[in-house]
Amino acid sequence: MVSKVELIQKFQKEQPDYWKVDLFERKGFVRKKCSKCGKMFWTLDKDRKNCPDPPCENYGFLGNPPTKKRFDYIESWKKIEKFFMKNKHTSVRRYPVVARWRPDLFFNIASIIDFQRIDNGTITFEFPTNPLIVPQMCLRFNDIPNVGVTGRHSTAFVMIGQHALANKEGYWKDKCIDLDFELLAKVFGIPEKEVIFLEDAWIGYGAFGLSLEYFVRGLEIGNAVFTEFLGDLNNYRPMKDKVVDMGAGLERFNWITQGTPTIYDCVFGPVIEKLKDAISVKYDKDFFLKYAKLAGSLNITEVFDIKKAKAEVAKQLKVSVQELEKKVASMEALYAIADHTKALVFAIADGELPSNVGGGYNLRVILRRALSFIDKFNWPVKLEDVAVWHIDYLKKMFPELAESKEEIVKILQVEEKKYKETKQRISRIIESLGQRILSGEELTKLYESDGITPEELGVEVPGDFYQRITEKHMGEKVEEEKKFSIDVSGLPETKILYYDEPYVYNFKAKVLKVSGSLAVLTQTAFYPASGGQDHDTGYISNAEVVDVQKIGNVIVHQIKGSLREGEFVDCKVNKDRREILMKHHDAIHIVSGSAKKILGKHIHQHGSEKTVEKARIDLTHFESPSDEELEKIENLANEVVKKDLPIKKTVMDRSEAEKKYGFDIYAGGYIPSKKIRIVDVGNGFDVEACGGTHENKTRDVGWIKIIKSKRVADGLVRLEIVSGEVAEEYLKEKEKILKEVAKKLGVKEEKVVSALKNMFEKWKKLRKEIKGRKK
Amino acid sequence: MEEIEKRDKREKEMMNFKEFKELSEKEKLLKKTTEILRVEDKDLPRVIDRFQREIKEMESDLKEFRK
């Protein structure tokens, strides 16, 4: 297995000029080898011995920035945007922080993620315009314990993405570095000799390239990656269209011009000052500056032991660890609160909730970390206020945040309430446990139902705890993806009839292959189980079709009976079953759209199932919906039905669909295909990429009834739904029971509740009297 | 043509909205009754029978006590 270091060494040996760009030649940069770490770098300073990467160089800008002008966070972005637009780049709006178009990621972690799509394990790059610039908010949760502590780690940051294809509209290495150097030197006024480039490489998902990282006074500002190979380090091929993937930290641009003790002091606008005012924190600025210089340049993430690192810092500052803690702990907490709240603002605005499901778990961790700091210091601070301060400041750059303000506040309030309840519950659990040790199963149950982790209970985490949880969910997924055992290689793609003619149930076909109870036809109207929709049944000649699955592009029918390869057959799909499944599938779309409108934009599908008995949909929501809310959802859904609106199915380019409808089209899951089928219910009421069968008009779905609502996990609500004839039968059945109940109680139907209450009260009274007499 | 026929058939067969709402109200009533005794709705008639029988039995027992 080749490592990144080996790749760099290989290129340095075979193509030593690989990193050499026009700028270096023109300006007289010299290539040097770091005397400490051995890395190669480019500098205008002929006497320089070390590379700029800490710990080879300490931060030299704290309290002493290299620029004459100080730029505010948003101002920094405006400068950068103006510069690149002047240089023929299109400024693209940020993509969501919730990476719904990437099956391998919960959150957006880099600007290039916006433009990467994965099709059956292969990465493709799809740029809406070339070249472009994007202020991409990214969320990363791999350094949470360091946020607030090191002075530079964040969970939320803007990666300025400068992206271009190496063709006639775009550019390659030379122009990229020319632009980046000009931005630093001319726009931000950083002295040219302060800019140092380090030879590096970047390995992403399915693609990689060599890179030039650029530093100023020990601070890495950006990394220009020249992505030109597809595959991994052991097996790669050159890309047809090479990609410039330059990612720079907006926060870093801001920080280098401000030279504040920590990055947190300058990137949150007025938020830090507002927090300081609210909690009257004591802040020894001079001491903090000295501390920050050490804390920032010590690579705490790599030493793994923050206590040990802090002891080292305390020693250098000539104070005890306790004194150091006392002086800096409250500021560290304050910074972490500001950072974590910012991450939560973006995540919630983009539709993810703190929960114990998927990426929501990371959000809950930072939420609870922030709340625990507030608790620890007993500060009169509310996270929702901090969120509002962030929104009010950032709306100049990200106006969409203001639209979600109320929702964000509500969700943070609910989460704080849950946090307090969980803390009380944890105390009770610990008290009730005594000496008893919880089993792995009990711990899993607590985690899934209440989001309580073994760590929060203060018990040892069983070695396989998180593995068990992951496997449990993986198991569910594997079951959904069950496949028939048949070799379909060499068979042509099955012609699909159920999309173009969803109401055709009788068709003719030729039997292409029979293997045991499995049969493949030339064409089929039998819908295979997929996207949560149950498969069709029916007959192929006299053989009963009991299951249908899709393997690649071939549809396989499981039959009871016999068929001969090569024979022509009459086929019949079970019409009643298919129509119910279609109606239930449509009902899921309508209820999903309705729930979003009633409960908020944060509502997203986490899974769904459509059977003949009922449909179910799991929605992300922070609390169980009330009866009134459920009624509103149902009423709105039935309004859509009543209006008889169109259900349009269109096959379109993925990029076009994403541009037109946004990433909510992946509500039902990501579709790994360049062409996707968009189902638009009710002229935009609900729009999803979906491969299911659907009616043509909403009235065809029939009335929709939500029959059950239950919380299946923390942050996840399951609605069970019936529609059309199934809904009617369901209601008639309920009416029958109500009639029987009324008859037994001897009252009219509308009086059953009071009559039953009276009966029950009478029963309890009599029982009490009898018991009393018996004594 | 086929589409129009399908529509007509659908309108003829589909329950009207007023009826749907009335039945929904009845379903809501039934739900409330199940909450009183905390039983499944299908079990409700049987459970009511049991309660009524027990009430009768207890009333008769009390009569005996009072004698």
Tens-place pLDDT, residues B6-51: 777 778 888 899 999 999 999 999 999 999 999 999 999 999 999 9
Q: Is A773 in contact with B17 (Cβ distance < 8 A)?
A: no
For residue A167, give Cα distances in angstroms to A20, A129, A178: 20, 12, 17
List CB contacts of A768: < 8 A, sequence separation 6 or more.
none
In whole angstroms, what separates CA A468 from the centre of its chain?
22
Residue predicted with more confidence, A438 or A347: A347
Determine the pLDDT at residue A469: 59
List chain A residues with CB under 8 Å of B47. none
List of chain A residues whose C-beta atoms are within 8 Å of the C-beta of residue B41: 734, 737
**pLDDT score of A629:** 97
Chain A CB contacts of B32 under 8 Å are 753
Q: Can you read off the two tokens belonging to residue B37?
A: 């005794």
Total domains in chain B come to 1
Phi, psi (rounded to 5 degrees) for A543: -90, 130
Number of H-type helices and E-type strands within chain A: 23, 26
Higher pLDDT, A87 or A423: A87
- pLDDT for A715 equals 82
Nearest to A502, CA basis, from A437, A567, A578, A441: A578
> Does A708 contact chain B (CB < 8 Å)?
no
Residues of B in contact with A703 (CB under 8 A): 14-15, 17, 20
Q: Which of A721, A719, A741 is nearest to A730 (CA)?
A: A721
Task: For residues A315 and A293, give the distance between their C-alpha atoms in angstroms, rounded to a whole number.
Answer: 14
Smallest CA–CA separation between A737 and chain B, in Å? 7
pLDDT, mean over chain A: 90
Residue A475 has a pLDDT of: 39
Q: What is the pLDDT of residue A502?
A: 82
Interface test with B, best of A744, A745, A771 (most B CBs within 10 A): A744
C-alpha distance from residue A397 to each of A108, A110, A188, A390, A531 (Å): 18, 18, 19, 11, 38
Query: Does residue A432 sit in helix, strand or coil?
Result: helix
pLDDT per residue over A601-616, tens digit each?
889 888 899 999 999 9
Distance CA A489, CA A284 (A): 71
Gap between the Cα atoms of A508 and A752, Å rounded: 56
Query: How sure is the predictor about A527, in pLDDT bands with cuts at 50, 70 and 90?
Result: very high
**What average pLDDT does range A321-336 have in this prediction?**
88
**Mean of pLDDT values over A241-262:** 96
What one-letter code names the amino acid at A741?
V
Residue range(s) defining the domain that contains residue B9:
2-66
Return the residue matching tokens 């099955």.
Answer: A494
Q: Print burial letters for A442-453: b (CB count within 10 Å at least 16), e (below 16).
A: ebbebbbebbbb
Closest Cα in chain A, distance from residue B42 (Å):
7
Residues of B in contact with A734 (CB under 8 A): 23, 26-27, 30, 41
A44-103 tens-digit pLDDT: 999 999 999 988 998 899 999 999 999 999 999 999 999 999 999 999 999 999 998 888
* Phi, psi of A488, rounded to the nearest 5 degrees: -105, 5
Amino acid at A204: G
Q: What is the pLDDT of residues A437-489, one digit of tens each?
A: 777 777 777 777 666 767 677 776 666 665 565 555 443 433 445 578 889 98
Residue by residue, DSSP assigns A337-362 as: HHHHHHHHHHHHHTT---SSSTTHHH
pLDDT above 70 as % of chain A: 94
For residues A624-642, average pLDDT: 96
Percent of chain A residues past pLDDT 90, beyond the cut: 65
This prediction has a pTM of 0.84
Q: What is the ipTM of this complex?
A: 0.93
pLDDT exceeds 60 at position A204? yes
- What's the CA gap between A612 and A584, in Å, rounded? 8
Percentages helix, strand, coil for chain B (3-state, rounded to 5) are: 90, 0, 10
The b/e string for A362-398 (b: 16+ C-beta within 10 A; e otherwise) is bbbbbbbbbbebbeeeebebebbbbbbbbbbbbeebb
Q: Which of A550, A559, A481 is nearest to A516 (CA)?
A: A559
Segment A312-333 shows an average pLDDT of 86
Residue A10 CA: distances (Å) to CA of A32, A224, A360, A551: 17, 19, 41, 42
At A103-121, the pLDDT tens digits run: 889 999 999 999 999 877 7
Decide if pLDDT at A430 tops 80. Answer: no
pLDDT digits (tens, 9 = 90+) for A679-690: 999 999 999 999
Q: At residue A760, what is the residue type?
A: F
Q: A254-311, pLDDT tens digit by residue? A: 999 999 999 999 999 999 999 999 988 777 778 888 888 777 545 545 555 667 777 8
Residues 6 or more apart whose CB falls under 8 angstroms from that of A640 comprise: A590, A593, A594, A681, A682, A685, A698
Length of chain A: 775
Q: Which of B8, B37, B48 to mutate to test binding with chain A, by most A CBs within 10 Å of its CB?
A: B48
How far is the C-alpha of A310 from the C-alpha of A298, rounded, in Å? 10
What is the C-alpha to C-alpha distance for residues B62 and A155, in angstroms, rounded to an integer? 72
Residue A723 CB coordination number (10 Å): 28
Task: Quote the CA–CA distance of A529 and A691 in Å, as a whole number.
Answer: 11
| Residue A361 confidence (pLDDT) above 90 | no
Cβ neighbours for A208, distance < 8 A, ≥ 6 positions apart: A7, A201, A202, A227, A229, A232, A233, A236
Q: What is the pLDDT of residues A726-751, one digit of tens each?
A: 999 999 999 999 999 999 999 999 99
CA A236 to each of CA A104, A130, A206, A489, A685: distance values in angstroms, whole numbers, following the listed order: 21, 25, 9, 26, 44
Tell me which DSSP letter residue A530 carries: B
